[in-house]
Amino acid sequence: MPASKTARQRAREDITAEILAAARARLAEAGPGELSLRAVARDVGMVSSAVYRYYPSRNDLLTALLIAAYDELGEAAEAADDAVDDRDDHLGRWTAVCVATRAWSLTHPYDYALLYGSPVPGYAAPQDTVGPATRVIVRLVTIIVAAHQAGATSPVAPSIAPAGVEDAVADAIEFVRVLGNPEHADLPEITTRTIMAWTTIFGTLSFELFGHLVGSVSDYDAYFAQVISRLAADLGLPA
């Protein structure tokens, strides 16, 4: 049981990754529901049955694909936040995460569609995908709550909304509390607004990538900048 890997183990890891990469490339032409194991095998230069040594079925390959894409996006978003030197520049951190999320999405449109487009009929993502899937929103919430705890915010829009915010997003509020931000009077409002903003960001990316803004938006970069700036204002981050 040596600490260094045997040639076999190294080869196995390489080829496992190679198959995954080939499958991701395939998504450009087929969509996850029509992803063909045989086509992937051909691209890798194997016979189709050989793929079963690495992924026990088509669905397991799909799961690996989801996790890889979620992790890559989460990684990009977190790295962008971490690269902001002034940790108290919450607006800068917010903007960095949003911009990085969009940049990854534009360069990986098929991965984006896998993650945020239509679910694959007959496929239910297993529990292992949950962690990777939450990385972006967790980071966004972290930034916004930090800003409010530092007091570096304008008051959020008065709650003219129907009562019952606490109930609507109870799960998320609980989550934020656990995140280690004990008490803040506006926590329900802040949480609701952050989830809304997150939804708007991905709604914007879906609309952009899936073609629904054709005829409305003329400059996508500028439009996205407008959106995240308004969202930041709605969240109480001062300009």
54/147 with CB nearer a second copy: 147
String of DSSP letters for 8-52: HHHHHHHHHHHHHHHHHHHHHHH-GGG--HHHHHHHHTS-GGGGG
- Number of neighbours of residue 202 by Cβ within 10 angstroms: 17
Residue 199 and residue 109 in contact, taking contact as beta carbons nearer than 8 Å: no
Please identify which residue in 17, 118, 126, 131 interacts with a second copy, judged by CB under 8 A.
118
Asked if residue 141 lies in contact with residue 194, where contact means CB atoms within 8 angstroms, the answer is: yes
What x/- string results for residues 53 through 82 when contact with DNA is judged by CB under 7 A? xx--xxx-----------------------
Q: Which of residues 49-78 bind a second copy (CB under 8 A)?
A: none
Residue 116 near which of DNA, a second copy, none (CB within 5-8 Å, type-dependent)? a second copy
Classify each residue of 160-188 as buried b or exposed e, where b means 16 or more C-beta atoms within 10 Å of its C-beta: eeeeebeeebeebbeebeeeebeeeeebb
Closer residue to a second copy in complex, CB, 54/96? 96
What 3-state DSSP class applies to 163?
A: coil
195 lines the binding site for a second copy (CB under 8 A): yes
**Pick from 39, 46, 99, 172: which binds a second copy (CB under 8 A)?**
172
229 near DNA, rule: CB under 7 A = no
Binding of residue 7 to DNA (CB under 7 A) = yes
Cα–Cα dist 237/229, whole Å: 9
Torsion on CA atoms 231, 235, 236, 239, rounded to nearest 10: -30
What the block records as the tokens of 125 is 């993502």
Q: Which is nearer to a second copy, 46 or 195 (CB)?
A: 195
Contact pick of 80, 193, 235, 236 for a second copy (by CB under 8 A): 193
Element (H, E) at 211: none
Catalog residues that contact a second copy under the rule CB under 8 A.
Answer: 28-31, 33-34, 113, 116-122, 125, 130, 133-134, 137, 157, 160-162, 164-165, 167-172, 175, 192-193, 195-196, 199-204, 206-207, 210-213, 215-219, 222-223, 225-227, 229-230, 233-234, 239
Catalog residues that contact DNA under the rule CB under 7 A.
Answer: 1-2, 6-9, 11-12, 15, 35-39, 46-50, 52-54, 57-59
